[in-house]
Structure 1
Amino acid sequence: MKLDIRYGANPDDFMHYDTDRLRNDFLVTRLFVPGEIRMTYSHIDRIITGGACPTIPLSLECGREIGTEFFLQRREMGIINVGAPGTVIADGERFPLKKLDGLYLGAGIRNLIFESDNHDDHAHFYFSSAPAHTSHPNCYIDIEKAKKVKMGEPEKANVRTINQYIHPEVCSTCQLMMGLTQLENGSVWNTMPCHTHERRMEVYFYFDIPKDGVTFHIFGRPEETRHIVVRNEEAVINPSWSIHSAAGTSCYSFIWSMVGENQEFTDMDHVPMSVMK
């Protein structure tokens, strides 16, 4: 198990970061290394972003950085499989997950194991974990069970479907919210016009990006934006004061994970296009 530590950022300092500093502090790469569980611990709301790529069954261990007896002792977790079929075993209960199936695990799970169904074609379990002061029931969510919200207009190249997996209208959680947005062919923009939500931070994990393509993730204060070039199966940590938007060289998909004060999906501060710089 590999755990990387990232610290928070003051928006006044952020505007002076160069490309290397932005990538070192906010970009999460190499999430799916065969035979490993890799995680990034952000001090922004103490979210943990990770990936498991099992070649053999992989058990999630708890390091000193977590400070508890076992990983989910005081945490909850959301998982979405973006690879080949696999199985998550939580305290002996088996949850088969095909591609785009999701799973919520409440606090208190002692033993968590990731398996690929086929050792030659590995599952890619993407997960987010947040501190939890109470436990909620485990919940399996496939993409058909997710709440679907259609957004965008063809002439603005932003037609997309938001699949809300871990959301109050789908399953109960302590604070974690998680879902998957899919852009339609011909659309490249997400979350534009943009917004902020000071009460929640967010992590974007991008996938379904072609090998010869990239996505430009735009973040920072609306009047002082920056960007990171993102490739397939990479993620970006967004502070709560930051916008979070992107444009790709083609359509793509992304998983969003939110942690913070509330679970009001529509609680956002919209940014007029005239403010953007």
Structure 2
Amino acid sequence: MMEIRYAANPTDTKKYTTEKLREEFLIESLFEEGKINLFYSHHDRVVIGGAIPTGEELKLDAGDALRTDYFLERREVGIVNIGPNGTVTVDGQTYDLKKRDCLYVGLGNKEVTLSSEDASNPARFYLVSSPAHKQYPTKVLPIADAEPTKLGSDSESNNRTIYKYIHGDGLQSCQLMMGMTLLEPNNMWNTMPAHVHDRRMEVYLYFDMEEESRVFHFMGEPSETRHLVVKNEQAIISPPWSIHSGVGTNNYTFIWAMAGENYTFKDMDFVKMEDLK
């Protein structure tokens, strides 16, 4: 099954209740043992998924939602393991993923299956897929080989390390960009001052959080901000017109993924603090 999330416009979003905001933009039940859960967003046709293989391997299946013969017939996908060791098999080729390793799988691969090294301590695969027009090689980038970028400071409560996985100078793709940000202990803010990029959407997955911890994720137009309270291993669909920033009750880790018009990190419009409301 694939849950459909339709595109929302900023004028209507201003009037949403908390319940409606969560219904439109928050993915609460992404990970379930023994299943793949998929969510199709009409914002840039991105598919977001979570999988926990506890017995037999799980197959990435298009079902009826995409109306294609197989999931990657017209798509590409990035897969990050956020749990114990696991394996992704792509058309018979096996790729081992430790925690925080990333696999890019390109257009045209017909069969993708996911399994855990230890079913009693299963892997937790997070995936984001976007439409593709060209085939790029399927390739793993271990977290140990990803280039870290240090940003922020303790004084600003945003001392963090960014790992870029899928981008112009990393794993090659058509539209999809993907990476991970780790906040140091006692640091809680991300992406502030905020920005928007009106030509592409973004998805945030928050994880490595304690059960009682929460992230207050800020969204909306810069002059009409709203917030969503997010638990561990929940994801946010961020429309192109929305800011995407958050502050946690503790430090946390998040995976960001983007797809849309432009393929560059420079395509963003920064918002001055005095313009946020």
Decide whether the 8 Å contact of 1:86 with 1:117 is kept in 2: yes
What is the CA-CA distance between 1:18 and the residue it aligns to? 0.5
**2:57 is matched by which residue type in structure 1?**
P
1:18 equivalent to 2:17? Answer: yes
The corresponding residue for 2:187 is: 187
Alignment of 1:85-104 (within 5 A): 85-104=85-104
**1:71 is matched by which residue type in structure 2?**
F
1:81 equivalent to 2:94? Answer: no
The corresponding residue for 1:213 is: 213
Alignment of 1:30-179 (within 5 A): 30-55=29-54, 56-179=56-179
The corresponding residue for 2:26 is: 27
Query: TM-score under structure 2 normalisation?
Result: 0.98
Moved over 3 A (4+): none
What is the CA-CA distance between 1:153 and the residue it aligns to? 1.6
Decide whether the 8 Å contact of 1:133 with 1:174 is kept in 2: yes
Q: In structure 2, how many angstroms separate the alpha carbons of the residues matched to 1:208 and 1:17?
A: 29
SS of the counterpart of 2:228?
Answer: strand
Q: What is the aligned residue count? A: 276
**2:276 is matched by which residue type in structure 1?**
M
What is the CA-CA distance between 1:145 and the residue it aligns to? 2.0
Q: In structure 1, how many angstroms separate the alpha carbons of the residues matched to 2:50 and 2:71?
A: 15
**2:5 is matched by which residue type in structure 1?**
R
What is the CA-CA distance between 1:144 and the residue it aligns to? 2.1
Q: In structure 2, how many angstroms separate the alpha carbons of the residues matched to 1:50 and 1:119?
A: 19
Query: TM-score under structure 1 normalisation?
Result: 0.98
* Stretch of structure 1 that moved more, 163-172 or 242-251: 163-172
Q: In structure 1, how many angstroms separate the alpha carbons of the residues matched to 2:46 and 2:147?
A: 23
SS of the counterpart of 1:144?
Answer: helix
Q: In structure 1, how many angstroms separate the alpha carbons of the residues matched to 2:85 and 2:148?
A: 23
Q: In structure 2, how many angstroms separate the alpha carbons of the residues matched to 1:194 and 1:23?
A: 21
SS of the counterpart of 2:144?
Answer: coil
What is the CA-CA distance between 1:29 and the residue it aligns to? 1.7
SS of the counterpart of 1:21?
Answer: helix
What is the CA-CA distance between 1:3 and the residue it aligns to? 1.0
Cα shift readout 1:220-246 (whole Å, capped 9, x = no counterpart): 001100000000000000000100000
Cα shift readout 1:44-82 (whole Å, capped 9, x = no counterpart): 000000011001211121222101110001000000000
% identical aligned pairs: 49
Decide whether the 8 Å contact of 1:147 with 1:169 is kept in 2: no
**1:6 is matched by which residue type in structure 2?**
R
SS of the counterpart of 1:243?
Answer: coil
What is the CA-CA distance between 1:38 and the residue it aligns to? 0.2
Q: In structure 2, how many angstroms separate the alpha carbons of the residues matched to 1:95 and 1:183?
A: 28
**2:110 is matched by which residue type in structure 1?**
R
RMSD: 0.7
What is the CA-CA distance between 1:199 and the residue it aligns to? 1.3
